Amino acid sequence: MPFLQPIVRLDDGVTIGFEALARWPSDAPNAVSPDVFIPLAEKNNLIVPLTFHVLSEALATCRRWRVRHPAC
């Protein structure tokens, strides 16, 4: 599941969308920072597959939300 950050309208606090964030899990207490893994993905020509993966996971999450909450 992707990490999704809500986009909130400041004047009334209504959530108007979400931003999908790439996070690299690790056994360490904190995840690996995007400042570390994104340059590595770019250097190794993996940024496009990473982008497609994040987009695919975000869309699958959106689809699940729409099925569970059709009135929203």
Q: How far apart are CA 66 and CA 61, in angstroms?
A: 9
pLDDT in tens, 3-60: 889 999 999 999 999 998 888 877 877 778 889 999 999 999 999 999 999 899 989 9
Token pair 């986009």 is found at: 7
Q: Higher confidence at residue 2 or residue 61? A: 61
Token pair 């400041």 is found at: 10
pLDDT value for 21: 86
DSSP-derived letter for residue 4 is E
pLDDT value for 25: 78
Cβ(7)–Cβ(17) under 8 Å? yes
Phi/psi at 54 (5° precision): -60, -45
pTM of the full structure = 0.73
pLDDT value for 63: 93
Cβ(20)–Cβ(3) under 8 Å? yes
Asked whether residue 1 carries a pLDDT value surpassing 70, the answer given is no
